[in-house]
Amino acid sequence: MTDTSRSLGEIEQDIVKINETLATISEVRSALKDFTSLVLQETKGPNYVHAFGDRLNHVKRGLNRLAAESEVLKGGLSYAQVAANKTYHWPTIKNAVENNAAAEERRQAENNAGRPKDPCLVIKKNTDQALKQLSHVVLEKKSLSTTPNYITTQINEWLAHEKPNHVEISVHFNKPECDTVSGSSCSFTVTVLKALTATLEVDYYRASDTITFHRYEVNSSTNRPPHQEQPLVFQKLNVLADMAFQDMSVLPAREAISSILHWIASYYNLFTEPCFRCHRRLQFDSPHYKYLPPMVRTWIRRKVDYMEPDREMPQAYTTAGIAYHMLCFVAATKVASKVAQ
Ligand SMILES: [Zn+2]
């Protein structure tokens, strides 16, 4: 395969990704609408703080996903610039997107007549800070929680009893866990020797016994000069982390923390393990990412909503820690079958 060829299958995958991104844009819009309507409502009920955090998280997750998905699109889009009119009919795509956007704007304008125009930008700017403030509101009185430092306890238990013996992994707390209105919050960095570091900001919600990952960054475990760009493999890994963390955040808190640590630990052989499907180490990914090692490590998925109920789950969804190239993973899980429907 050369830089300028892209198979029909890959183009189909590009289209799937573009569709997914467009769907995410709609979701972000509606999450944003929910959030603004909550903020603008006249009376604030007793659940206001919780609802505020909840909806803001929803917006934040959408934006994270959007950022990740647009990373994935880079390869396909830069190819499209080269191959332009043969395989992509840009005027049609552009018109469709513009028409959708215009229709959405009109709907919004009708619903929000007289309100400030583009809350998206303002909120995007303030989300991080607001979220931080909100999740770090420390209770004046010590809460009666029977499990103080829940996240820290779970991490320590995982390190003591569940950590795979062959993996050299350490956890550093960037900020000790503190109580919040609805549970607790903390930030920590996991380092897997010779592979990667993952910095996570995590909230624990006591009432629902769930975890929210509201910020995470995967990086090289070796220090790089401050102004040097993040290596491409880690840029792409952040895209995958987004999918993984979304899947895991629906699990009960203890299981979610254990799953995420297992997943991060499974990267100990990031640069050495060949791909389970094609048995090679490097594979040409896209003009943007060039050659990448198998950078997927599978995690067990509970539900894949587009799969036919009677079809067997692909192995890549039922076994944790298998190494795949991104494209081999997509092929192994037959995401392309979505297009055929
Ligand atoms: Zn492969």
Over residues 208-252, the pLDDT tens digits come to 899 988 788 888 887 766 666 667 888 888 888 888 888 888 889
Judge if 19 and 79 occupy the same domain: yes
* This prediction's pTM: 0.59
Q: Are residue 111 and residue 157 in the same domain, yes or no?
A: no
* Residue 143 falls inside a structural domain: no
167 and 264 together in one domain? yes
* CA 18 – CA 257 distance, rounded (Å): 31
259 within domain boundaries: yes
Ligand 1 centroid, distance to 164 Cα (angstroms): 25
Distance 217 CA to ligand 1 centre (A): 24
CA of 333 from ligand 1 middle (Å) equals 13
- My answer on whether 202 and 129 are in the same domain is no
State in Å: Cα 21 to ligand 1 middle: 24
Number of domains present in the structure of the chain: 2
Domain-located, residue 1: no
CA 318 to chain CA centroid, nearest Å: 20
Would residue 81 be called left, alpha or beta, if left means φ above 0 and alpha means ψ between -120 and 50 degrees? alpha
* Dihedral-angle region of residue 172 (phi above 0 means left; psi in -120 to 50 means alpha; beta otherwise): beta
Kindly give the distance from the C-alpha atom of residue 295 to the centroid of ligand 1, in angstroms, as a whole number. Answer: 10
In this structure, is residue 84 part of a structural domain? yes
Greater model confidence, 303 or 293:
293
Q: Which of 82, 103, 135 is the last residue of a domain?
A: 135
200: buried, middle or exposed (CB in 10 Å: 19+, 13-18, 0-12)?
buried
Q: Where is the domain boundary, 111, 135, 159?
A: 135
CA of 279 to the centre of ligand 1 (A): 6
CA of 276 to the centre of ligand 1 (A): 7
User: Ligand 1 center to residue 190 CA distance, Å?
Assistant: 27
- Whether residue 100 is found in the same domain as residue 125: yes
How far is ligand 1, taken at its centre, from the CA of residue 161, in Å?
A: 33
- Residue 169 in domain: yes
Same domain flag for 127 and 96: yes
Residue 195 maps to a domain = yes
The predicted model gives 4-27 an average pLDDT of 79
Average pLDDT for 316-332: 88
Mark whether 202 and 326 lie in a shared domain.
yes
Give 138-149 pLDDT, tens digit per residue.
443 444 445 679
Please indicate, yes or no, if residue 300 is contained in any of the structural domains: yes
Q: Check whether residue 102 and residue 73 sit in a common domain.
A: yes
What pLDDT score does 1 carry? Answer: 38
**In this structure, is residue 140 part of a structural domain?**
no
Q: How many CA atoms lie within 13 A of 15 on its CB side?
A: 17
Q: What is the predicted pLDDT for the residue at 144?
A: 47
The enclosing H or E element of 169 equals: strand 169-179
Q: How much distance in Å is there from the Cα of 239 to the middle of ligand 1?
A: 18
Looking at the structure, tell me whether residues 95 and 72 fall in a common domain.
Answer: yes
Smallest Cα–Cα separation from 197: which of 170, 173, 159, 232? 170
On whether both 74 and 171 belong to a single domain, the answer is no
Cα separation, 23 vs 56, in Å, equals: 19
277 and 249 housed in the same domain: yes
CA of 301 to the centre of ligand 1 (A): 20
Domain encompassing residue 131: 8-135
